[in-house]
Structure 1
Amino acid sequence: MVAIKGYEILKVLSNNVVLVREGDAKSILVGKGIGFAKKKGQVISNKDVIEDKFISLDALNDRDEAQFFAQVDPRVIEITEDIIIMASEELGESLNPNIHIGLIDHINYAIKRLNEGIEIVNPFLNETKFLYPKEYDIAEKAVTYISSTIDINIPVAEIGFIALHIHGGRSNSSKSKAMTFTKLISNLTKFVEDKLKISFDDYSFMYSRFVIHLQGVFDRVLNEQTLENIFLDKIMIELPYEVSLSKTIGMIIEKELGKPVPDSEIGYIALHISKLNFK
């Protein structure tokens, strides 16, 4: 957090949220009563009333900033900050500062859509819950908190979207990468179900084993790591159909991740498919 010397108030958004400037840097400060009876031009220097909630606006240009404040409900800013603090405490780590604006915007837009009667659908909910269980659990609590605070029914679909934001805010994590992995898992499991004429139980050992392996493949492909596969020649000969499916899966992965899948990985995927094929 930036050391607080004094913030000039640019706009009072609510009793608990103010837009301020320190030097050339603009920020949002959140704290109980921080905006009460305050006016533009006044200076806030008491860090105790800020409750350690400081949101940088460095990522927004003037046009984006104007649009952001024209659309966002100040209550959503407060709620989002509470959620981020809860997530940090439960994960035992600080989240990337860039999560603030993105999550505020997302929650605000979701509420707007719900108020307009627009249904929120998340086709990757089960995959998100499986891949990011800690984040999903926190997001579930976040949705309950939003619903009770604003008195609006937030659908289960939003849990998955908020979970991806939280995962993306963790160190060495990316929301876009998490979404790519989640979509890939969904597409690949559906592909295998169709080709093998099977139906996965999302919480079965069979599903878990296959998904965990695919997630490992994605990470190794992105990091350009290769696993040795001493059974590769045998797999290619004895499992031609599974190898054919695995090669298609490899092409799908390459298209999404932009990097080729090594033959050794193709062999291991084929081996996993063969286990599914005999269930």
Structure 2
Amino acid sequence: MEILRVFNNNVVLARDGAGREVILTGRGLGFQARPGRTVDPTLVTRTFIPADGRDPDHLAELLAGIPPEHVQLVGEALAEAGLDARASASPTLVIALADHVSFALRRQRLGVAVEYPVVAEVKNLYAGEYAQARALLAAINARSDEPLPDAEAVALALHLVNAGFASGDLSWTYTMTGVIQQMMDVIGQSYGLELDPGCVSVGRFVTHLRYLFVRIEQHEQLDQQHSPVGGAIRAAYPRAVACAERLASIVELRLGSPLTDDEVSYLALHVARVTETAA
């Protein structure tokens, strides 16, 4: 592999044999290294391949600012928590988690406590990721002299959720979480019901919303003109359609993107399923 840029003694940007730009880490890897030279493979401990169009330079610069021991800590904790497959599929997840954990450890040393206002939403809407985050936090604390508080599981869970989206901006995940909770509240108020977050239909609805937000962000909403499926849904569930149109208004207000008729129809279908189960 050829070195393209040296960020510090431990992080370099290189081009591999397939012509891809990759981020390499390893103690002393960048010491006295120069662009154009060949990478010493014996010094490489981790290889990160940027995905989803992420800027390799930006990721490498971020990684260069994280102590190597914190990157190693997170990598080992991910493996112990059974999340190494997710880390392999999304290398940027390791960088994002290491950056967060490194900052959290510094806060811990300074005695600075942080409260996360979306605790209930994360536990209810992302139960799977929250369980994984708790296991990850336990693995991190087992390897650290300064255990992080339980509340950090919320932030770790949001990073796990965020890894499923094209955007690397965690603020998008925070916004999405708030919008989902608001939509759930509207459904409950419209039907006079209390929705069970653990219900299968609610779980399917949340999954649908997560993929809907991906389509919105990528400007790829479902939009089949005069869709027969959409027409059938609207005819069968008029009350759910009225509720779905309220949900669409929330999306447009919060995310600045109007929903297509097809997206509203599929929202209505999920509203009908959720409310029939809860009734």
TM over 0.5: yes
TM range, smaller chain = 0.5 to 0.7
Instruction: Give CA-to-partner distance per residue, 1:4-57, whole Å, 9 cap, x none.
Output: 78998955xxxxxx356889x997633xxx45xx99648996533433356997
Match of 1:121 among 116, 123, 127: 116
Match of 1:140 among 126, 134, 141: 134
Q: 1:45 to 1:184 in 2, by over 3 A?
A: same
Q: Measure how far apart 1:212 and its partner are.
A: 3.9
> In 2, are the aligned partners of 1:246 and 1:269 still within 8 Å (CA)?
yes
Q: Measure how far apart 1:74 and its partner are.
A: 4.4
Q: Measure how far apart 1:261 and its partner are.
A: 1.9
Aligned residues: 251
Higher alpha-carbon deviation: 245-254 or 118-127:
118-127
**Structure-2 separation of matches of 1:207 and 1:112:** 38
**Structure 1 residue 29 and structure 2 residue 28: aligned?**
no
Match of 2:97 among 93, 97, 103: 103
**Structure-1 separation of matches of 2:211 and 2:48:** 36
**Structure 1 residue 199 and structure 2 residue 194: aligned?**
yes
**Aligned amino acid, residue 203 of structure 2:** S
> In 1, are the aligned partners of 2:230 and 2:266 still within 8 Å (CA)?
no
TM-score (norm 2): 0.65
**Structure 1 residue 59 and structure 2 residue 71: aligned?**
no
TM-score (norm 1): 0.65
Equivalent position of 1:255 in the other structure: 253
**Structure-1 separation of matches of 2:102 and 2:112:** 15
> In 1, are the aligned partners of 2:87 and 2:94 still within 8 Å (CA)?
no
- The within-5 A match list for 1:217-256 is 217-218=212-213, 222-226=219-223, 228-233=230-235, 235-236=237-238, 239=239, 242-256=240-254
Equivalent position of 1:174 in the other structure: 167
Higher alpha-carbon deviation: 203-212 or 46-55:
46-55
Q: Measure how far apart 1:149 and its partner are.
A: 1.4
> In 1, are the aligned partners of 2:8 and 2:31 still within 8 Å (CA)?
yes
Q: 1:51 to 1:151 in 2, by over 3 A?
A: same
Q: Measure how far apart 1:198 and its partner are.
A: 2.9
SS at match of 1:228: helix
Equivalent position of 1:14 in the other structure: none
**Structure-1 separation of matches of 2:8 and 2:132:** 34
**Structure-2 separation of matches of 1:262 and 1:55:** 35
SS at match of 2:206: helix
- The within-5 A match list for 1:35-54 is 41=32, 46-53=40-47
**Structure-1 separation of matches of 2:99 and 2:168:** 14
Equivalent position of 1:190 in the other structure: 185
Q: Measure how far apart 1:121 and its partner are.
A: 1.8
Instruction: Give CA-to-partner distance per residue, 1:211-234, whole Å, 9 cap, x none.
Output: 344445445655221452324245
Q: Measure how far apart 1:175 and its partner are.
A: 4.5
**Structure-2 separation of matches of 1:249 and 1:273:** 10
Equivalent position of 1:76 in the other structure: 70
